[in-house]
Amino acid sequence: MAKGTLTGSRIRERRVAQAMRQADLAKKAGISASYLNLIEHNRRRIGGKLLLDIAQVLGVEPALLTEGAGAALMASLREAASAVPAAQAELDRVDEFAGRFPGWAEVLSSSQKRISALERSVETLTDRMTHDPHLAASLHEMLSTVTAIRSAASILAEPGDIDPEWQARFHRNIYEDSARLTETSRGLVTYLEADDAEATETGAPQEELDAVLAAAGHYVQDLEEGGTVHSAQKRLGTDLSAPARELLGQWLQRYQKDAQAVPQSDLARAIQKHGADPAALAEHLDADPACVMRRLAAMPEDVLPEGVGLAISDASGVLTYRKPLPEFPMPRFGSACPLWPLYRALNRPMVILSHPVVQTGRPGSDLWVDALAVPVGRVAVNRDPLFEAVMLVRPMPTNTPPHEEPLELGSSCRVCARAVCPGRREPSILVAGA
Amino acid sequence: MAGHVLLIEDEPNIIEAIRFILSREGWRVDTHSNGVDAADVVRAKSPDVLILDVMLPGRSGYDILRDLRGAPDTEELPVLMLTARGQNKDREMAERAGASRFMTKPFSNAEVLDAVRSLTVTS
């Protein structure tokens, strides 16, 4: 992509780094917030006086907004500084630092990028190693098989005679265990190498479903257009195991009901007026807010350019559905951060909890979360309802009035850098002595 | 005879190998492969030493051991715990559950023999 076409992204980056709201920048630059939104998402070119005006409001040289490498460098230097707040790096002089010491600035920038990439890898791997029941079981089976082989081989290798019948038994055991070890190892390698976008026959059913939904963008066009669950299930579930296909069927049935209750065309029109605010949309459409949240998560980019994330939890706190955002990852295995409004919603059913949030270790991620717990199934006599919680994660709304400090949330305890937390369940690998 | 060992492990070929090496040394070896009724089997068999795997079908070795440590007739029973996970936290978990010794897979026959002998001496 030509360097000038990313000017919008750089404007957004600069604005967010200065904790400036989109509406404020737009007003000072003399344009509407919605037009600035289009610019920031590179859907409108910008140049001339408007570029100069915006650069002036942001306090930067216009070239820093139009020149690629410079702005990217500034962003990673700021990220490096925010990771070590105790150092109190002179953020207002970062341009001067990069200008005077370009080599050192590049070294620091590259190191920060590498650290971020490594942290993401550690987060994924740790999540998997600690909580993946399939991986734990496979590793245990492998080590048990190796133990059996080693024991039998040791007996056969000992000096002296061993009864021929025992000898034959141990030889047979080694042969059988070697074959089992081969299969287990092969399965484990396949499982570990499986791409998130592909369904894998060695994965847990929920993982297979997650992979299929991610590949489909969480959107099922045939159901939007009145198609059947059966045909959608046939199309999407070709390579799935039987349990995963069943989960897919249940998910598609709910998707179909949601699409009938809140058709895409109605939702698209409502979004033009209310943005991705689920409470406002639910009132406008006279629909269930939880259904609206699920529908928002399904909307394609042409309906909802700034994607949203969604997490659904059952009453026990297990995540039964996750659509993460890059700025808001969600653990694949184990439990998520107990501070998530998703879990508080279970204690306050039928109340929409709505908060600005930021994820620990991801500075500058302006997000907003809406969470709601609703009963599952029909009302029944003398039976307490079972609740399900839904949490929508969306970019900070452009017309947000002054609000409270954002809630600081984590992804999961094990990879959360927050040193002191009342909800911590297990030590973090990122915090010494946590 | 050296004594009576009860081995609770669900991997049949490990059972066969350990039974062979202990029997050869004069031990009487009983085995059981299910975690659900393992504690009952321990109380019924009343061994001198228990070798207990952590990952068993139906119930974990940690739960079984906590159960045994809570009963007067098995609270002092020497227990060698076997596990595939060898980190410090797993060792600590085994100790907290009441294991006398802890061994990670894959282990050698000699290690098992040494451990069982030492548990018999100290019991």
The pLDDT of residue A81: 84
The pLDDT of residue A379: 81
Rounded to 10 degrees, what is the CA torsion of B54, B59, B62, B67? Answer: -140
> What digits encode the pLDDT tens for the residues A64-92?
787 655 666 877 788 788 778 788 888 88
Q: At what angle do helices A289-298 and A242-261 cross, to 10 degrees?
A: 110
The pLDDT of residue A118: 73
Q: Do A146 and B105 touch (CB under 8 A)?
A: yes
Give, for B91, the enclosing helix (H) or strand (E): helix B88-97
Q: Is residue A210 predicted with pLDDT exceeding 90?
A: no
Q: Please, which residues 60-89 of chain B have a Cβ atom closer than 8 Å to chain A?
A: 84
CB of A291 closer than 8 Å to CB of A390: no
- Is the CB of B18 inside 8 Å of chain A's CB atoms? yes
Structure tokens at A312: 């659904």
Domain range list for chain A: 3-123, 133-193, 204-261, 309-434
- Is the CB of B16 inside 8 Å of chain A's CB atoms? yes
Give, for A88, the enclosing helix (H) or strand (E): none
Positive or negative, the CA dihedral A226, A227, A228, A233 is negative
Distance from B11 to chain A by nearest Cα, in Å?
Answer: 7
| B110: chain A residues, CB-CB within 8 Å | 154
Q: How far is CA B59 from CA A144, A194, B55, B84, B102, in A?
A: 17, 31, 8, 16, 18
Q: Is residue A332 predicted with pLDDT exceeding 50?
A: yes
Question: pTM of the predicted model, to two decimals?
Answer: 0.50
* Greatest distance between any 2 Cα atoms in chain B: 37
- Mutation choice for B interface testing from A126, A143, A155, A184 by most B CBs within 10 A: A143
Q: Which of A140, A152, A176 sits opposite B17 (nearest CB)?
A: A152
Strongest mean pLDDT among A74-78, A316-320, A383-387, B78-82: B78-82
Mean pLDDT of chain A: 82
Residue A232, classed as helix, strand or coil, is helix
Q: Is residue A38 predicted with pLDDT exceeding 50?
A: yes
Q: Do A155 and B13 touch (CB under 8 A)?
A: no
Residue A427, classed as helix, strand or coil, is coil
Write down the CATH superfamily of domain A3-123: lambda repressor-like DNA-binding domains (1.10.260.40)
CB of A35 closer than 8 Å to CB of A44: yes
Secondary structure string (H, E, C) spanning A237-277: CCCCCHHHHHHHHHHHHHHHHHHHHCCHHHHHHHHHHHCCC
What average pLDDT does the segment B52-66 reach?
A: 91
Structure tokens at A299: 């909307």
Tokens 């939904």: give the residue. A213
- Is the CB of A234 inside 8 Å of chain B's CB atoms? no
The pLDDT of residue A45: 80
- Is the CB of A156 inside 8 Å of chain B's CB atoms? no
Helical residues (DSSP H) of A41-132, grouped into ranges: 48-58, 62-66, 68-83, 94-100, 102-131
Domain range list for chain B: 3-122
Q: How many CA atoms lie within 13 A of A78 on its CB side?
A: 20
Whether omega for the bond prior to residue B106 falls within 30 degrees of 0, making it cis, is: yes
Which of B13, B7, B18 has its CA nearest to residue A169? B13
Q: Do A155 and B20 touch (CB under 8 A)?
A: yes
What average pLDDT does the segment A113-121 reach?
A: 71
Q: Is residue A354 predicted with pLDDT exceeding 60?
A: yes
Q: Is residue A128 predicted with pLDDT exceeding 70?
A: no
The pLDDT of residue A398: 73
- ipTM at complex level: 0.85
Q: Which of A151, A155, A170 sits opposite B14 (nearest CB)?
A: A151
Distance from B73 to chain A by nearest Cα, in Å?
Answer: 30
Strongest mean pLDDT among A49-53, A277-281, A417-421: A277-281
Distance from A420 to chain B by nearest Cα, in Å?
Answer: 21
DSSP designation for A325: B
Tokens 């289009």: give the residue. A38
Give, for A345, the enclosing helix (H) or strand (E): helix A341-347
Q: Do A147 and B14 touch (CB under 8 A)?
A: yes
Structure tokens at A206: 């929920």
Give, for A294, the enclosing helix (H) or strand (E): helix A289-298
Q: How far is CA A405 from CA A259, A325, A358, A367, A370, in A?
A: 35, 21, 10, 12, 15
The pLDDT of residue A197: 38
* Bridge partners (DSSP) listed for residue B91: none
> What digits encode the pLDDT tens for the residues B17-33?
999 999 999 999 999 99
Tokens 């592909």: give the residue. A198
φ, ψ at A392 (rounded to 5°):
-100, 135
Q: How far is CA A40 from CA A11, A30, A97, in A?
A: 6, 15, 26
Strongest mean pLDDT among A47-56, A60-69, B59-68, B88-97: B59-68
- Is the CB of A173 inside 8 Å of chain B's CB atoms? yes
CA A38 to CA B22: how far, in whole Å? 76
Q: Please, which residues 107-146 of chain A have a Cβ atom closer than 8 Å to chain B?
A: 137, 139-140, 142-146
Give, for A216, the enclosing helix (H) or strand (E): none
- Is the CB of B17 inside 8 Å of chain A's CB atoms? yes
Comparing A354 with A239, the larger pLDDT belongs to A354
Q: Do A144 and B108 touch (CB under 8 A)?
A: no
What average pLDDT does the segment A25-40 reach?
A: 90
Q: How far is CA A360 from CA A42, A364, B111, in A?
A: 28, 10, 46
- Mutation choice for B interface testing from A138, A150, A151, A181 by most B CBs within 10 A: A151
Q: At what angle do helices A164-193 and B12-24 cross, to 10 degrees?
A: 140
CA A391 to CA A313: how far, in whole Å? 9
- Is the CB of A175 inside 8 Å of chain B's CB atoms? no
Q: Which of B14, B20, B110 sits opposite A166 (nearest CB)?
A: B20
CA A413 to CA A337: how far, in whole Å? 6
Amino acid sitting at position A397: P
> What digits encode the pLDDT tens for the residues A164-205?
999 999 999 999 999 888 888 887 777 776 644 344 444 578
CB of B109 closer than 8 Å to CB of B51: no
DSSP A118-156: HHHHHHHHHHHHHH-HHHHHHHHHHHHHHHHHHHHHHHH
Range B3-122 has CATH code 3.40.50.2300: yes
